[in-house]
Chains A and B, each alone.
Chain A
Amino acid sequence: MASKIEKIYMALIAMEKDGGTDVSPSILVITFLYLVAVLSVPLYAPQKLIWLAAYPIIASEVYGIGYSRILYRSLWILPLLAIIGMFNPILDHTEAFRINGLLISRGWVSFISILLRGVLALQAVVIMVTLTGFLGVFNLMMRLGFPKVLCTQLLLTYRYLFVIMEEAINMKRARDSRGYGRKSYPLGMWGRFIGQLLIRSTQRSIRIHRAMKARGFSGVFPLVSIKGWDKKAWITFFGWIIVIVLLRFVDFSYYFKALIRN
């Protein structure tokens, strides 16, 4: 548990340095539309869904992230999605099609669909967050008109994660150094441990907030430099919209079959 806290802490610090090269409001809208396109594909049509993979492939390469990196980051969700869809092949035995006499049920088709939907949706979000950086997303939300209270709260929650982690690590060190070699945390101790962690971090966060106010913090974080909706942004935006609409509504597998047949 304690080492997990330290790992998360290090991961958060690593994230701070990541991304933030293309902070444009259009990426949030494009990602949203792509998610709608992916999730609107009927469950028993994975052959349509697979063509939507073109967006993460093209976008990741065009923006210089590299699709291998996006694929690697999105594959961890597969076991989770497999657990989600595991009942579909078990419960739905209706025949979907046969491959050389081998019956493939609709349950398996929907199972594949669930895997694809989950992976593609995650890839789109990963691309967005990689492009904007984690703090950039919150700034984009503010720029797009989300309530300032919520945006400030988002940024503070993110910032105070570090405070909680640091306090937890300090308490863990204190316990280890006075535990006479005992590494375990008995059940009866957890209530006091967590209660104290809450009070300690709250008091520290109040001190931090007072220091911020003393240095001119008015309650709202200033916006980082975000690209406006210039000509290039509009062209990119409509370009991606056309790509996503085409991928969603044109059944490329039919054209592909016709091409192969000819």
Chain B
Amino acid sequence: MHMADALVSPAVAGVAGVAAVGLIAVASHKVKEIKRDDIVPLMGVLGAFVFAAQMINFTIPGTGSSGHIIGGVLLYALVGPWAAFITLCSVLIIQCLIFADGGMLALGCNIINMAAMSCLVAAPLIYKRIYSGGRGHAKWRIWVGSVTASVIGLELGALLVSLETELSGVTALPFGNFLGLMSSIHLVIGICEGVATAVVLTFVESYNPDMLFNYFVDKTDRKINGRRWKNVIWAFVVIAIIMAIGFTWIASENPDGLEWSIGKITGDTELGVASIPSTAFMPDYDSTFAGIVGGLIVMVALWGICAIIFRKRRVAYSSSEKKND
């Protein structure tokens, strides 16, 4: 479900980024309130665990997104909502920076689509209610809760990916087809993730039940799931309003936001081009093609010139690479 940078417009990425930063700030504050000795190593090792699990992924054709499990419900069941959110955020940031999985600018979108939807929406509102709905924690509750919450979390994420891509205006695939493709694939992934989560959780409950998050003791969870769960809904309403306002601006990005701003200032969307008559670089060819060919030639020349000028600087990196080999 990781969105690449090539898939989002800066405006969509910016709006989602603001929402993500806000949620991270709240979550960081909430995590500090958790009174559990082993929360720090638990979050670290679970982050690594989910990271490894997310490595098994595949690209969904035409959507610019990948299909894989998220692990939000598993994290929620073990460390609670806010710690799960921070853990999943750290996984997404590492994937982006180290393995280039998901774009750096699209990180906000990825955090909202995956971490927020599964840890802060699907898991607290569905898994927790099913799991702690009656007396005793029967295994079937874990199974039903995991599968339902995983499917709904992934479907919500798929819906947001489709919306964000549509608003960015990158893919030619119509919104309906895009959403259909994404949701059908993520329905299957959701069921698989739910089963995998349930298997692991039932194993943990059998062998080390202390590891499971105690919903009745931890106050941070009560703030989400108890009488004050409405606060979370309100938080999402505010985020939705911010995103809606942002998206309305994005929807009219023709010319795009940056060029629009420049156009407002200078009266033209390009700096300095108005004075030059539109001439054909290659008589029969369109300016797009000529521009690409011309640009490529110049870039290769630039590379050559830079390589010659700065050739002496390369020593440090080439020697460190040899050491690694």
Q: Residues of A at under 8 Å CB distance from B?
A: 8, 14-15, 17-18, 21, 31-32, 35-48, 50-51, 53-54, 57-58, 61-67, 69, 77, 80-81, 83-88, 90-92, 96-100, 104, 107, 109-110, 112, 114-115, 117-118, 121-122, 124-126, 129-130, 134, 137, 147-150, 152-154, 156-161, 163-165, 168, 190-192, 194-199, 201-202, 204-206, 208-209, 219, 248-258, 260-261
Among the 9-residue stretches B223-231, B235-243, B308-316, the one with 4 or more Cβ atoms under 8 Å from chain A is B308-316
Whether a CB of chain A sits under 8 angstroms from the CB of B264 is no
Within the complex, the shortest CB–CB distance from B74 to chain A, in Å, comes to 9
**Closest 3 pairs between A and B when the two form their complex, measured CB to CB:** A47-B291, A97-B286, A195-B203
Q: Nearest B residue to A168 by beta-carbon distance?
A: B52
A42 to B262, CA, bound (A): 14
Q: Nearest A residue to B295 by beta-carbon distance?
A: A50
Contact partners of B151 in chain A: CB under 8 A: none
Within the complex, the shortest CB–CB distance from B269 to chain A, in Å, comes to 9
Interface centre among A14, A32, A87 (most CB of B within 10 A): A87
Contact partners of A137 in chain B: CB under 8 A: 97
Among the 9-residue stretches B5-13, B122-130, B134-142, the one with 4 or more Cβ atoms under 8 Å from chain A is B5-13
Interface centre among A8, A17, A88, A153 (most CB of B within 10 A): A153
Contact with A along B288-306 (1 / 0, CB 8 A): 1111101110110011001
Within the complex, the shortest CB–CB distance from A98 to chain B, in Å, comes to 7
Within the complex, the shortest CB–CB distance from B144 to chain A, in Å, comes to 17
Interface centre among B271, B272, B317 (most CB of A within 10 A): B317
Known A100-B284, A201-B49, A257-B281; judge A80-B59 contact (CB<8 A).
yes
Q: Nearest A residue to B271 by beta-carbon distance?
A: A249
Within the complex, the shortest CB–CB distance from A46 to chain B, in Å, comes to 6
Known A14-B324, A39-B9; judge A149-B172 contact (CB<8 A).
no
Whether a CB of chain A sits under 8 angstroms from the CB of B252 is no
Whether a CB of chain A sits under 8 angstroms from the CB of B320 is yes
A89 to B5, CA, bound (A): 20
Whether a CB of chain A sits under 8 angstroms from the CB of B149 is no
Interface of B is mostly: helix
Partner of B172, one of A110, A115, A157: A110
Partner of A261, one of B59, B202, B279: B279
B61 touches A83 (CB 8 A): yes
- Which residues of B from 13 to 37 have beta carbons under 8 Å from A? 13, 24-25, 27-28, 31-32
A206 touches B41 (CB 8 A): yes
- Which residues of B from 29 to 76 have beta carbons under 8 Å from A? 31-32, 38, 40-49, 51-52, 55, 59, 61-64
Contact partners of B96 in chain A: CB under 8 A: 125
Q: Nearest B residue to A188 by beta-carbon distance?
A: B199
Contact partners of B321 in chain A: CB under 8 A: 18, 69
Known A61-B309, A161-B51, A191-B199; judge A250-B5 contact (CB<8 A).
no
A122 to B30, CA, bound (A): 33
A192 touches B45 (CB 8 A): no
* Count, chain B residues at interface, CB 8 A: 108
B309 touches A258 (CB 8 A): no
Partner of A98, one of B64, B262, B286: B286
- Which residues of B from 238 to 270 have beta carbons under 8 Å from A? 255-259, 262, 270
Contact partners of A117 in chain B: CB under 8 A: 5-6
A88 touches B309 (CB 8 A): no
Q: Residues of B at under 8 Å CB distance from A?
A: 4-10, 13, 24-25, 27-28, 31-32, 38, 40-49, 51-52, 55, 59, 61-64, 86-87, 89-91, 93-94, 96-98, 100, 103-105, 169-174, 196, 199-200, 202-204, 207-208, 211, 255-259, 262, 270-273, 276-281, 284-292, 294-296, 298-299, 302-303, 306-307, 309-310, 313-318, 320-321, 323-324
A96 touches B286 (CB 8 A): yes
Interface of A is mostly: helix
A251 touches B273 (CB 8 A): yes
Known A43-B170, A97-B288, A208-B41; judge A256-B294 contact (CB<8 A).
yes
A–B pairs, 6, beta carbons within 8 Å: A42-B255, A83-B62, A196-B203, A201-B48, A248-B258, A256-B281
Partner of A107, one of B172, B200, B318, B323: B172
B100 touches A125 (CB 8 A): yes
A253 to B286, CA, bound (A): 12
Known A50-B299, A86-B61, A251-B273; judge A121-B105 contact (CB<8 A).
yes
Partner of A153, one of B5, B7, B86: B86
Q: Nearest A residue to B205 by beta-carbon distance?
A: A195
Within the complex, the shortest CB–CB distance from A108 to chain B, in Å, comes to 10
A153 touches B43 (CB 8 A): yes
A164 touches B52 (CB 8 A): yes
Q: Nearest A residue to B60 by beta-carbon distance?
A: A83
Given contacts A198-B204, A204-B45, A257-B290, 11 further A-B contacts (CB under 8 A): A17-B324, A40-B258, A57-B306, A83-B61, A88-B172, A126-B100, A134-B97, A202-B45, A249-B270, A250-B272, A254-B278
Contact partners of A209 in chain B: CB under 8 A: 38, 40-41, 44
Within the complex, the shortest CB–CB distance from A4 to chain B, in Å, comes to 8
Within the complex, the shortest CB–CB distance from B20 to chain A, in Å, comes to 11
Contact partners of A83 in chain B: CB under 8 A: 59, 61-62
Contact partners of B171 in chain A: CB under 8 A: 84-85, 87-88
B292 touches A194 (CB 8 A): no
